Chain A
């Protein structure tokens, strides 16, 4: 104990001499500290740091090495950039990049638009507002697997509920999850259904924090509902938009469970994203290739989210 704090005292010594009129209180506090240790010991970080470093940081760092190997978990053979070359060259692997980005853009775009719309609607003087807020938010808390299974039943071609409803108005719906053109977008729409509640409550919190004065000013100038939305709600709920975009982009790029329960990347490889390819390669025992996928996902996420964060953050400063 004493040895550990000796540098502290030595450090403070000269400063004490330089300032002759040092308040007695600080000296007292220093004495107390010497007895009991620092007020905010770094040791409080220890449990969190231990778990975080061992379970998260070390594997993340190791991934950059193992991505360059042919790996069986027990021994690894260095193969250079072969895994990455495979990923970029093979059609069924490289499709994952396009799909990952498409999925993230579609889900976060729709969450922003629908979340803002629902947020405005559910902060207006609706009588059933409390009930509707609950209804919209509840899917956020339901397990993704349960949502995935339910919607794959509702989207069954011909007999599924969605197709039956469409048949009522004379449209024959496609095989939503079985056709290459619609599978990924169908899953993305279900993702929006499940996640739009979170975007909505973020917007509600953002809209409620806008001071009423602004709305009164618009009304005094003779503005209507559209002006109130366009010139007050929309610009002043920007922090909420920022959060929704960043959160749903990170979530969308990493998304796996919904895609896996609804299509398993099919038909063929047409709805595979990077995360589902990582799982498939892991299942087939290509651990090096799987880890290369992880490194690429890391690159894609940071290459998109960090510039996006910077860009959106800059707009926030100068509205």
Chain B
């Protein structure tokens, strides 16, 4: 009797979760593979025909292959920003953890400010324009780095706290200090947290919509999120194409999720529980 009730409760929980969390995704997929006429119904009917390849080709070739260019831009943006975030944040997190004092306290304060303070948009545009970086990919990379640093520094600092100082001292006696100590001895030990930072920041930068919208307007160097946003008004009648675009944009996070689910969850909950 108890087992039966238990199985019933499990089935109910499963059904509710499936409906609430999986239905929207199945709707995306179904609409993406329908033909234009059927997709316009926006319902859950089974596709009458399956023009998957046609939809795919049409989305990719739309507006002179803007989606392909957007993919290239987003890839460059993500790789460049995440690389810079990892290098800068690892170095900063290391000094922050190892060397306390007035400068350390100030750095700590700035890291927390970076988490809380909303970025001042127009002054940032003004500054980037003065530097000749507004509407350029390098400019947007710097913006992503500046806004992503704080979180990464916290992750690195927490991980470095678990590396014993005796290791540094041993290296110092062998004449290894400063930059050499960090890059030759410490950095290789940071691999687990580095992977976590790469994953969480990649997802964040790839999915970022607000910063490209402000700092990289224009079609020629649009990112995938901005392209999707623009498709919304352009394809207001061709729902199959709009949802094919959504499916294409969801693939990279899905792959990251399938292969590295645990690492991502670990990164996002790190420090949260310790308080």
Query: Interface on A for B, CB 8 Å cutoff?
Result: 28-29, 32-33, 35-45, 47-49, 51-52, 54-60, 62-63, 66, 71, 73, 121, 126-128, 132, 134-147, 149-151, 153-154, 156, 159-161, 164, 193, 198, 201-202, 204-206, 209, 239-240, 242-244, 247, 250, 253-254, 256-257, 261, 275, 278-279, 282, 287, 290-291, 294-295, 297-298, 301-302, 305-306, 316
Contacts and interface: CB of A to CB of B under 8 A. Distances in A.
Interface stretch (B47-55, B64-72, B202-210): B202-210
A58 B127 contact: yes
A32 B175 contact: yes
Given A42-B103, A51-B146, A149-B242, A144 B17 contact: no
A283 to B, nearest CB: 10
B246 to A, nearest CB: 5
Which residue, of A39, A73, A305, has the highest number of chain B Cβ atoms within 10 A? A39
A150 B246 contact: yes
B272 A205 contact: yes
Contacts of A126: 10, 13
Contacts of A294: 118, 120-123
Given A44-B95, A52-B110, A139-B21, A146 B249 contact: yes
20 contacts: A36-B178, A36-B180, A38-B178, A42-B103, A44-B179, A45-B103, A51-B142, A54-B127, A56-B147, A57-B110, A58-B123, A73-B129, A135-B21, A138-B25, A139-B21, A142-B250, A149-B242, A150-B28, A154-B27, A161-B27
Nearest to A302: B116
Contacts of A298: 117-118, 120
Interface residues of B, number: 96
Interface string B27-63: 1100000000000011110000000000000000000
Interface string B261-272: 100110011001
A121 to B, nearest CB: 6
Contacts of A35: 175
Contact of A52 (B27, B114, B225): B114
Contacts of A209: 273
A51 to B, nearest CB: 5
B275 interface: yes
B91 A291 contact: no
A47 B84 CA distance: 9
Interface string B58-94: 0000000000000000000000000010011101101
